[in-house]
Amino acid sequence: MLYSPKKLFLFFLSCTVMLLVNNNNSGFVTSANSIGLNYGLLGDNLPSPSNVINLYKSIGITKIRIFDPNTEVLNALRGHRDIEVTVGVKDQDLAALAASAEAVKGWFAANIESYLADVNIAFITVGNEVIPGPIGPQVLPVMQSLTNLVKSRNLPILISTVVAMSNLEQSYPPSAGMFTSQAREQLVPVLKLLSQTSTPILVNIYPYFAYASDPANIPLDYATFNNEAIVVQDGPLGYSNMFDAIFDAFVWAMEKEGVKDLPMVVSETGWPSAGNGNFTTPDIASTYNRNFVKHIAGGKGTPKRPNKGIDGFLFATFNENQKPAGTEQNFGLYNPSDMKPIYKLF
């Protein structure tokens, strides 16, 4: 059953929760945990960026992520400073940018400079899931150059990268979390750079893929936050959902490399509504995304990091028909043709 975008206004409003924390009885510290949306462009039937920005505003979205400095999208964002945008550096640009700081300055001038006055650019991410991998070593020098650039100009833009859970050699139980040898080589120096300024690392977490690869041993309710009982007991820490277990495995892995208390932003999570039979139905996708939103809005954090809010981005705004056939085309919350929800979330 399709619902108009306006019908989901309260849903997205509920994605933001203000947590009032007593600060030694001297007052209240306010923090906000909010859900953003990934805005992918791999489709030939997508609405215009201006219409998409209007959709975001109508449903209360204040954070979006784009995968490259797309001029049409950034121009559509002009004047909408109530929307924070995370902008990606294209993977194919990394080699040239890693060669020199001057190349990075040129990239910034060409892709970011003209939007500083009227677009709220919160993050620039250097590479999308390229660590670990053959171009992974290119990430650190580009991050260093961009960090130096924004710092020299006192710009409120954070520089980071986006990584997948393929960096983990072991993730079960979470306390056994450890990085692969290639991740230790490529990712740990990045994490240590980020820790100097407490800048978050962006991580993509998809319980769907773990469940789909081993449904006989992973309960669906555990994978979709649809369970309150402890499924995995890890010493004193108990896990009732797979998302928290994956998140904490990454935290444990960082700590084993001497990186402690580094913030993590969930740059992607979601569940496809089609493409893999009974594993990918609108009902299951709705359940996962709805429960993820509730989990974030509840502000409980994870067993390893309790009561620490998590910022997260759902993947994705639209189904994208130019992605690989199958589940990859079916992570969207909205149909691109009419911008109506694909399934009921609340």
Residues with catalytic function: 129, 268
The 3-state DSSP class for residue 334 equals strand
Give the bridge partners for 63, in sequence order: 84
The span from the CA of 65 to the CA of 123, in Å, is: 9
Half-sphere exposure at residue 17, Cβ-oriented, CA atoms within 13 angstroms: 18
What lies within 8 Å, CB to CB, of 239 at 6+ separation is 174, 230, 231, 232, 233, 245, 248, 303
Helices (H) and strands (E) in the chain, counts: 11, 14
Distance from C-alpha of 275 to C-alpha of 272, rounded to nearest angstrom: 7
Query: What whole-number distance in Å separates Cα of residue 112 and Cα of residue 106?
Result: 10
Distance separating alpha carbons of residues 238 and 229, to the nearest angstrom: 9
- Whether cis (ω within 30° of 0) applies to the bond prior to 341 is no
Handedness of CA 178, 207, 292, 37 (dihedral sign): positive
- Tell which residue, 157, 147, 153, has the closest CA to residue 196: 147
What is the SS3 assignment for 44? Answer: coil
Determine the Cα–Cα distance for residues 74 and 83; give it in Å rounded to an integer.
11
The CA angle 59-314-318, to the nearest 5 degrees, is 70
CA 314 to centroid of chain Cα atoms: 7
Say whether 159 sits in a helix, a strand or coil.
Answer: strand
User: How is residue 152 written in tokens?
Assistant: 């020299």
